[in-house]
Amino acid sequence: MVGQNLNGQMDLGAGGVSRRQAMLAAGLGVAAVALTGSAASAMGTRRVVNDDPKAGGPGAEASEALGQGVGFYRARIGSIPATIVSDGFAAIAPVQPLFAPEGKAEEVAAVLRENFLPEDKVNIDFNTVLLRIGGEVILVDTGSGISQEATIGRLLGNLAAAGVKPAQVTGIIITHAHRDHLFGAVQPDGRASFPNAKVFISKTEHDFWMSSNPDLSGAGIPDEWKKAWVSGAQSVLGSLKGSLQLVAPGDKIVDGIELVGTPGHTPGHLSLVVSSGKDRVLIAGDLAHNHALMFAKPEWTVAFDSDKKQAIESRKKMFDRAAADRLRVLAYHMPFPGVGFISRQGSGFRWNMEPWSWTA
């Protein structure tokens, strides 16, 4: 079963799963930590945020030559400023059975070894995305929320380091309702973390989690985790009821954002294609959880998938599209900042990390 040490590493050893461990493991099987600040800028550049909507919208940027920081990474999608904001990191050990349960142990080890990765654990990152489109400030996913663990739950601290206040966020798009994507939307006392934001979530996703008996039989995780997933999702979505906007693939939220249905990991999982001018970016959500295993072998899954067959179909379909259209990709669980491209390689694919840029 699973425990977690203070370095954020999951430990699948013998013994039962405590209630605390089950709650920590809800979502992606890892915990959230108390909010912490980050260094404001690795470049030493000046950061000013203008809160006056008349001067360019909520949180309009008023600084020049913005550099990268610790815990956030600035990029652009055409004319759209984008900031990838880390909610933290963790490691899962051993690799199986949570990762690649379909693979033979020697096959899994070989893929990791070929990619110069450790064979005894899988490292994962948690990369949210902030988009400024017109007068809107849109956050894609909200991280895990507050916990006592040491490596997760850093979203609000890293947003502050990037010069963004929670009240400036006007819209939130939830790719799916697992803990590491949703629970940061609400504080422990039930208050919304982003008080002025409408929260967009797939109607299919919402209705699944809010049903009387969500079917998680396809997920290869302990029953304690399943109960924690359901109770946590229902609590958070209930707290957000007044702000929720239920959407479907193809619905238009703002200009430049296409909602794409990519079910399987969860029933209503969404990915996004963001377009500005000639630039197009796929915000992939949880189409993949590791930059080696699930690219080299797209038929390998993770235990958190609710419908493994459907998850494989969605992954292959979107990977094909990204490779064919040469889409830039922002991926939630790829190594921070999670920006890269997908190419075909043999019968599978390859994750190609975009070189780090010191200026947006």
CATH class belonging to 2-353: alpha beta
Helix (H) or strand (E) holding 60: strand 60-61
Question: Which stretches of the chain score pLDDT less than 50?
Answer: 1-65
Q: Model-level pTM? A: 0.84
User: What pLDDT shows up at residue 83?
Assistant: 97
User: What pLDDT shows up at residue 38?
Assistant: 31
Helices (H), the chain: 19-25, 105-114, 155-161, 179-182, 203-210, 223-239, 293-296, 308-325
Render 196-241 in DSSP notation, one character per residue: T-EEEEEHHHHHHHHSSS---TTS-S-HHHHHHHHHHHHHHHHHTG
User: What pLDDT shows up at residue 57?
Assistant: 38
Pairing mode of beta strands 171-174, 72-77: unpaired
User: What pLDDT shows up at residue 67?
Assistant: 80
User: What pLDDT shows up at residue 173?
Assistant: 98
Q: Strand, coil or helix: what is 138?
A: strand
Give me Rg for the CA atoms of the chain. Answer: 19
Parse the chain into domains and list their residue ranges.
2-353
User: What pLDDT shows up at residue 148?
Assistant: 60
User: What pLDDT shows up at residue 360?
Assistant: 72
